[in-house]
């Protein structure tokens, strides 16, 4: 017997052969644009993760960047960008911020590093911080460009409006900056930390004037009930009283307001005078006055003169102060013990942020995600090519 299916089947190359599977519908294929879109999206996400991917593949040992003062003050941070580095520097804790995450009790520190021209900021995430690391002032972490942060604009705006830092200037350098200034406009000067500071004409500068021949003496009221008695004790030892500042109450000792530890003695009250002595009698007289009572206070006599930056001018060997409605006053740089001011912290465009404790191994998941996206893009491209054929 013969198989009817075989006897009735026509040769494959016979004329008029019918494909018995032709009536079965083919499965619907995706539109080419879907494959193109999937591949493009995957490649875009890989491009978006390129910095994290590069950091995840970098070495696990930090690159020693040395002192921040030399590595970042001249704008050389670009060579260290997006790398795991170690850098040393002095943090500015005066203008530091404490950042907290909404809905949690996790706090972290955010501050600038002195001597870098405000080009290096540090985000210290660990809390609490071990005492050894807090004392060392050596930081390890990932260096990123400040402008690439999502919160860069808000941080810049907050610092410029709400955060100020105290700047101290060398008197000689400050006097030269005033001399080289054009007119009475803004003044650019380098502070003692090496940071450039721009002072507007209406900003206030404090000039600490010290006169070596003068001394400030405070005699306790508990031993000298009246001001005349205190003056007599100074004059009896050859002192000439130049100014009397009256009765001054000392600072209270720190402690709780109530409780067993609150029984601290009341702060002493002293009669304060600015005094001068003959040169040959000065040291002996100060020694005798200091032995009168343990509450006697002897310190350098200083005068604090505040003036607008626009009112300062150059003078031979120092500065001149020309405040409106007051006579001109000339100050020699030798008389200036300190020159300081408070100015807002302005974050420059070439600033960097060091995220302390951010190590390459923490971004290992980025490598896996990039591989998945790459496979997804390859599958879409291969499917697109097959459909085109």
Q: Give one DSSP letter per residue of 1-37, joined into a string.
A: ---HHHHHPPPTTSTT---TTTTSPPPPPPPHHHHHH
Q: Is the dihedral of CA 149, 151, 155, 156 positive or negative?
A: positive
Give pLDDT, residue 296: 95
| pLDDT at residue 349 greater than cutoff 90 | no
Higher-confidence residue of 258 and 361: namely 361
Ranked by mean pLDDT, the top range of 27-41, 113-127, 262-276 is 113-127
Rounded to an integer, what distance in angstroms lies between the CA atom of residue 226 and that of residue 247? 10
Q: Give the pairing of strands 352-356 and 120-124.
A: parallel
Higher-confidence residue of 256 and 355: namely 355
| pLDDT at residue 84 greater than cutoff 90 | yes
Q: What is the mean pLDDT of residues 213-242?
A: 94
Tokens of 151: 């919160």
Give pLDDT, residue 224: 95
Q: Which residues have C-beta within 8 Å of that of residue 94, sequence separation ≥ 6?
A: 165, 166
Closest by CA to 338, choosing from 215, 205, 242, is: 205
Q: Tens digits of per-residue pLDDT, 107-116?
A: 888 999 998 8
Q: What is the mean pLDDT of residues 294-303?
A: 91
- 21 pLDDT band, cuts 50/70/90, is low
Which residue is associated with the tokens 């709400």?
162
CB-count burial class (<10 Å; 0-12, 13-18, 19+) for 27: exposed
Using DSSP, state whether 301 is helix, strand or coil: strand
| pLDDT at residue 41 greater than cutoff 60 | yes
Please state, for a pLDDT cut of 90, what percent of the chain lies above it: 42
Give pLDDT, residue 352: 93
Give pLDDT, residue 303: 85
Q: What is the mean pLDDT of residues 290-310?
A: 91
**Domains, the chain, with CATH or none:** 63-163+348-366 (2.40.50), 167-249+268-344 (3.30.70.240)
Q: What is the mean pLDDT of residues 208-226?
A: 92
Peptide linkage before 375 cis (omega within 30 of 0) = no
Q: What is the mean pLDDT of residues 111-124?
A: 90
Q: Any idea which of 53-57, 66-70, 222-226 has the lowest mean pLDDT? A: 66-70
Q: Is the dihedral of CA 158, 159, 163, 164 positive or negative?
A: negative
Higher-confidence residue of 336 and 129: namely 336
Q: What is the mean pLDDT of residues 230-256?
A: 86
Strands (DSSP E) contained in the chain are 63-67, 84-88, 97-100, 107-112, 120-124, 138-145, 164-169, 187-190, 196-199, 204-220, 240-249, 269-276, 297-308, 312-315, 318-321, 329-332, 336-344, 352-356
* Confidence (pTM): 0.68
Rounded to an integer, what distance in angstroms lies between the CA atom of residue 177 and that of residue 338? 15
Give pLDDT, residue 1: 47
Give pLDDT, residue 149: 87
Q: Tens digits of per-residue pLDDT, 162-198?
A: 888 899 999 999 999 998 887 777 889 999 988 888 8
CB 71 within 8 A of CB 128: no
| pLDDT at residue 96 greater than cutoff 80 | yes
Q: Tens digits of per-residue pLDDT, 326-347?
A: 788 899 998 899 999 988 888 8
Rounded to an integer, what distance in angstroms lies between the CA atom of residue 178 and that of residue 82? 40
| pLDDT at residue 13 greater than cutoff 90 | no
Q: Is the dihedral of CA 268, 270, 276, 277 positive or negative?
A: negative
Buried b (16+ CB within 10 A) or exposed e, 312-338: beebeebbebbeeeeeeeebebebbbb
Say how many C-beta atoms besides its own lie within 10 A of residue 115's C-beta: 22
Q: Phi first, then psi: what are they for 214, rounded to 5°?
A: -110, 150
Give pLDDT, residue 253: 59
Q: Give the pairing of strands 297-308 and 269-276.
A: unpaired
Residue 191 CA: distances (Å) to CA of 197, 199, 268, 320: 7, 11, 37, 20
Tokens of 354: 């060091």
Give pLDDT, residue 3: 54
Buried b (16+ CB within 10 A) or exposed e, 290-301: eeebeebbeeeb
Give pLDDT, residue 239: 94
Please state, for a pLDDT cut of 70, what percent of the chain lies above it: 87
Q: Tens digits of per-residue pLDDT, 302-312?
A: 888 899 998 89
Q: What is the mean pLDDT of residues 352-371?
A: 92
Give pLDDT, residue 105: 75
Q: Phi first, then psi: what are they for 282, rounded to 5°?
A: -60, -55
Give pLDDT, residue 186: 84
Rounded to an integer, what distance in angstroms lies between the CA atom of residue 244 and that of residue 227? 9
| pLDDT at residue 228 greater than cutoff 90 | yes
CB 304 within 8 A of CB 216: no
């Amino acid at each position: 017997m013969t198989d009817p299916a075989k006897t009735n089947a026509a040769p494959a190359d016979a004329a008029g052969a019918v494909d018995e599977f032709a009536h079965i519908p083919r499965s619907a294929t995706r539109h080419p644009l879907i494959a193109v879109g999937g591949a493009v999206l995957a490649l875009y996400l890989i491009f978006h993760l390129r910095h994290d991917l590069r950091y995840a593949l970098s070495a696990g040992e930090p690159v020693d960047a040395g002192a921040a003062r030399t590595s970042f003050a001249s704008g050389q941070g670009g060579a260290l960008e997006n790398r795991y580095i170690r850098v040393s520097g002095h943090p500015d804790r005066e203008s530091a911020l404490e950042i907290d995450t909404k809905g949690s009790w996790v706090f972290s520190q955010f501050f600038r590093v002195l001597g870098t021209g405000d080009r290096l900021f540090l985000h210290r995430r660990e809390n609490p911080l071990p005492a050894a690391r807090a004392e060392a002032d050596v930081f390890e972490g990932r260096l990123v460009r400040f402008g690439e942060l999502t919160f860069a604009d808000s941080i810049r705006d907050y610092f410029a409006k709400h955060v100020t830092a105290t700047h101290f200037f060398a008197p000689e350098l400050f006097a030269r900056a005033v001399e080289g200034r054009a007119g009475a406009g803004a003044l650019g000067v380098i502070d003692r930390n090496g940071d450039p500071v721009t002072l507007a004409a209406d900003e206030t500068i404090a000039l600490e004037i010290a006169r070596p021949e003068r001394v400030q003496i405070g005699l306790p009221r508990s031993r000298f009930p009246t001001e005349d008695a205190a003056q007599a004790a100074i004059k009896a030892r050859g002192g000439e009283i130049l100014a009397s500042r009256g009765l001054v109450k000392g600072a209270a000792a720190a402690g709780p307001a109530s409780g067993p530890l609150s029984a601290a003695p009341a702060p002493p009250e002293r009669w304060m005078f600015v005094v001068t002595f003959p040169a040959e009698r000065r040291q002996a007289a100060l020694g005798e006055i200091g032995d009168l009572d343990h509450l006697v206070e002897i310190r350098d006599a200083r005068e604090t003169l505040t003036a607008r930056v626009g009112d300062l001018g150059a003078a031979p060997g120092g500065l001149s102060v020309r405040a409106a409605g007051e006579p001109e006053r000339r100050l020699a740089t030798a008389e200036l013990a300190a020159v300081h001011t408070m100015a807002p912290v302005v974050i420059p465009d070439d600033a960097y942020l060091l995220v302390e404790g951010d190590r390459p191994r923490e971004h290992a998941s980025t490598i896996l995600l990039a591989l998945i996206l790459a496979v997804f893009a390859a599958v879409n491209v291969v499917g697109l090519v097959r459909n085109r054929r």
